[in-house]
């Protein structure tokens, strides 16, 4: 018994013929032992769980502290921006109060609409007569590689210098007060620009920037650089680069809206801001047809914001034409400026002539019968059944080769009008060209309207 560590008193009890008592004591001791052992294990688990909870609480406290620091940082930034905006408003208000006498403070008065319209027209001031006025929002429309950047830079230099615009006729070239110009170029590299402008002095009031890539930085850049100006011109070349990374198809509208809101805000501060934005034509643009607002990419979005739209497009003989497509303040007409690109002293456009758009549009080469008389004026597309059908339609009416060549140099509308004059019905013309009768009638009417051909009024008996 001593081998198992049984106490001597318990051994004596067992030897005294009282084994029941001894066994009871032994069982009680065993229970006590296991109870103590289990209690120690539970106590260890308790302390371990307590340590774990303490660690988790410390981590949670650290995360809370980090989030609080982030919140405080954002709050400080917001407060700083609000304070900056408040100071700007206060400075603007103070400058107006110091420069205006009590008599000069505007007080709304009841005025007739006629008086207000008269004053508004009298106050209209132009950068380019009949095309671009101060304080407007203008879109320059053109296909790729047509010379939009060349035209805009020429315009920017002329505005900054107060010199003539060489793309205008001599009698319309007028000097004006130099204005500050902010040119935001999102396409051209400075090396290419330096090559184009190497032979002229750049005016100091022409600023150029290429690192702006979102509307927020654009608005901040404009606000920062118009300080001290009462009139300023912003040229953005081009809008597509700023919106191309956006997944929102209304991004262009938001950019235009932000620029328009900036114009209104600055006007309340006594600053006239003129904005000119380059935009590209839609895919499938037909350079042989008259230019309209539908050729502008995102035309629905921009039409509600723009004051006017100007187009630059190909013309005959390798020339270029400049057209006023729409304008809210100037009458629209069919005349265009035909210009040519010259390289000296810098790359720019020079005026050639003024004419109608129909006269300036390039002529699309049409298919015709191969012959010695007309081979120089026609294309080799006689393998095309539709081209052969058009040629035969004129040949069957007795036209000679030269007359057919002359007619085929017209666009489809002109050809359709000629066939109709030769007695071909609109249904038959539709079969020849593959159009419906309604389409033939529309194309014919459009051609007549562009070329100034109107029907004679019927005689009244």
- Tell me, yes or no, if the pTM score tops 0.85: no
Q: CA 11 to CA 7: how far, in whole Å?
A: 6
Comparison of pLDDT for 161 and 115, the residue scoring more: 161
- Please report which confidence band the pLDDT of residue 107 belongs to, taking 50, 70 and 90 as the band edges: low
User: Cβ distance 416 to 433 under 8 Å?
Assistant: yes
* pLDDT of residue 380 exceeding 50: no
Check pLDDT > 60 for residue 103.
no
Does the pLDDT value for residue 421 go beyond 50? yes
Look at phi and psi of residue 338 and say left if phi exceeds 0, alpha if psi is from -120 to 50, else beta: beta
The more confident residue out of 385 and 139 is 139
What was the pLDDT predicted at 374? Answer: 40
Residue 155 carries which DSSP code? H
Residue 108 has what pLDDT? Answer: 57
pLDDT for position 368: 40
Q: How far is CA 152 from the centre of its chain?
A: 16
Confidence of residue 55 (pLDDT cuts 50, 70, 90): confident
Confidence of residue 179 (pLDDT cuts 50, 70, 90): very high
Model confidence at 95, pLDDT cuts 50, 70, 90, reads low
Percent of the chain with pLDDT strictly greater than 90:
14
Res. 116 pLDDT band, cuts 50 70 90: low
Average pLDDT score over residue span 372-393: 53
User: What is the distance between the alpha carbons of residues 461 and 197, in angstroms, rounded to a whole number?
Assistant: 69
Tell me which H or E stretch contains 158.
helix 148-161
Regarding predicted confidence, which is higher, 442 or 451? 442
Q: Dump pLDDT digits (tens) for 250-280.
A: 567 778 888 889 998 998 888 999 999 988 8
- 185: three-class secondary structure by DSSP: strand
pLDDT of 62 reads 76
Task: Quick: pLDDT tens for 127-149.
Answer: 888 788 888 899 898 888 888 99
Q: Which helix (H) or strand (E) holds 403?
A: helix 401-408
pLDDT over 90 (residue 424): no
The confidence score (pLDDT) of residue 405 equals: 79
**Tens of pLDDT along 310-367?**
999 999 888 899 998 888 777 777 899 999 998 888 889 999 999 999 899 887 755 4
> Cα 397 to the chain's mean position, in Å?
51
Looking at residues 300-314, what average pLDDT do you find? 80
């Amino acid at each position: 018994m001593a081998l198992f560590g049984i106490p001597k008193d318990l051994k004596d009890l067992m030897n005294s013929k009282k084994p029941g008592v001894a066994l009871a004591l032994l069982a009680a001791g065993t229970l006590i032992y296991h109870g103590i052992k289990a209690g120690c294990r539970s106590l260890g688990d308790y302390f371990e769980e307590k340590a774990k909870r303490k660690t988790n609480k410390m981590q949670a406290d650290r995360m809370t502290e980090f989030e609080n620091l982030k919140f405080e940082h954002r709050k400080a930034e917001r407060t700083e921006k609000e304070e900056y905006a408040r100071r700007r408003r206060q400075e603007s208000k103070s400058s107006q109060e110091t420069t205006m006498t009590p008599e000069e403070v505007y007080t709304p008065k009841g005025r007739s609409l006629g008086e207000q319209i008269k004053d508004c027209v009298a106050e209209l001031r132009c950068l380019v007569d009949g095309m671009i006025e101060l304080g407007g929002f203008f879109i320059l429309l053109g296909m790729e590689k047509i010379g939009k950047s060349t035209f805009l830079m020429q315009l920017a230099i002329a505005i900054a210098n107060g010199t003539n615009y060489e793309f205008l006729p001599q009698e319309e070239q007028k000097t004006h007060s130099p204005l500050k110009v902010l040119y935001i170029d999102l396409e051209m590299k400075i090396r290419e620009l330096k090559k184009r402008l190497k032979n002229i002095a750049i005016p100091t009031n022409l600023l150029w920037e290429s690192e702006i890539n979102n509307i927020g930085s654009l608005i901040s850049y404009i606000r920062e650089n118009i300080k001290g100006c009462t009139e300023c011109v912003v040229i953005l070349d081009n809008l597509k680069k700023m919106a191309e990374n956006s997944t929102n198809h209304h991004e262009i509208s938001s950019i235009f809206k932000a620029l328009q809101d900036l114009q209104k805000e600055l006007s309340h501060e006594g600053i006239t801001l003129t904005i000119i934005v380059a935009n590209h034509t839609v895919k499938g643009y037909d350079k042989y047809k008259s230019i309209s607002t539908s050729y502008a990419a995102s035309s629905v979005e921009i039409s509600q914001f723009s004051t006017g739209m100007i187009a630059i497009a190909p013309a005959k003989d390798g020339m270029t034409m400049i057209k006023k497509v729409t304008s809210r303040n100037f009458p629209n007409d069919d005349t265009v400026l035909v210009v040519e690109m010259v390289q000296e002293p810098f790359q720019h456009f020079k005026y050639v002539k003024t004419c109608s758009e129909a006269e300036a549009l390039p002529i699309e080469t049409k298919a015709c019968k191969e012959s010695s008389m007309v081979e120089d004026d026609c294309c080799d597309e006689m393998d095309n059944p539709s081209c052969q059908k058009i040629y035969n339609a004129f040949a069957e009416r007795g036209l000679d080769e030269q007359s057919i060549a002359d007619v085929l140099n017209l666009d489809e509308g002109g050809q359709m009008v000629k066939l109709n004059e030769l007695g071909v019905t609109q249904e038959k013309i539709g079969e020849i060209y593959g159009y419906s009768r309604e389409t033939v009638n529309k194309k014919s009417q459009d051609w007549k309207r562009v070329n100034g051909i109107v029907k004679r009024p019927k005689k009244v008996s």
